[in-house]
Amino acid sequence: AQSVAQPEDQVNVAEGNPLTVKCTYSVSGNPYLFWYVQYPNRGLQFLLKYITGDNLVKGSYGFEAEFNKSQTSFHLKKPSALVSDSALYFCAVRDDKIIFGKGTRLHILP
Amino acid sequence: DAMVIQNPRYQVTQFGKPVTLSCSQTLNHNVMYWYQQKSSQAPKLLFHYYDKDFNNEADTPDNFQSRRPNTSFCFLDIRSPGLGDAAMYLCATSSPGGTSTDTQYFGPGTRLTVL
């Protein structure tokens, strides 16, 4: 059965520092992987996805994610964090259907 | 701009009183989804439509029903809301095929309060 794990409930990063939000997955076939962001009282917004091709995927707002097949990971990264990046981030995987992780709350400290 | 719209944004109902949440889209997407999201948790898929074909998740309570009268609109009906049904309800759309495969576009959500 497919699954996705976000091991950190919360990540705190100082503004201007690089950030990483972790995600690992388990699927039976080739994974389709996604990152979404949710701001307070709003729906989820698509950031980026990996379907096939380059392991480094670039997305919206300067975010990128690296697909690592051997480690079954798809960590979200950004070289320099902004206070406005503070939000709830969801990793998702699609096998037969899309499953969301439990979310990681990212706090960027001014 | 093409988008997914949910009305109302905030809905208050009484225990046991039926309520309907609505979703409309201007993206002309084939697939529409309804998710339930409780406080800071992952969205939980309730059901989805692929065109007119309805797909219910196995663990979605019978209390939750849905209608899709046309491509643009989809409704979530909660027949007898309980206190445990208080949550954010998210509508999303997607279109199979091409570079947008499986990317879901979400509305802003309707926050349901049950008194």
Q: What average pLDDT score do residues B58-86 get?
A: 96
Length of chain B: 115
State pLDDT tens for residues A41-91.
888 999 999 988 889 999 999 999 999 999 999 999 999 999 999 999 999
DSSP B45-73: EEEEEETTEEEE-TT--TTEEEE-SSSSE
Is residue B99 very low, low, confident or very high in pLDDT (cuts 50, 70, 90)? Answer: low
Residue B1 has pLDDT above 70, yes or no: no
User: Which of the 8 DSSP states describes residue A88?
Assistant: E
Question: Using CB atoms and an 8 Å cut-off, which of residues 26-45 of chain B contact chain A?
Answer: 40-43, 45
CA distance B108 to A70: 36
CA distance B18 to chain A (A): 23
Backbone angles phi, psi at B86, to 5 degrees: -65, 125
CB A48, CB A65: distance < 8 Å: yes
State pLDDT tens for residues B10-41.
999 999 999 999 999 999 999 999 999 998 78
pLDDT of res. A71: 95
CB B61, CB B85: distance < 8 Å: no
Inter-chain touch B109–A88, beta carbons under 8 Å: no
CA distance A37 to A40: 10
Inter-chain touch A34–B45, beta carbons under 8 Å: no
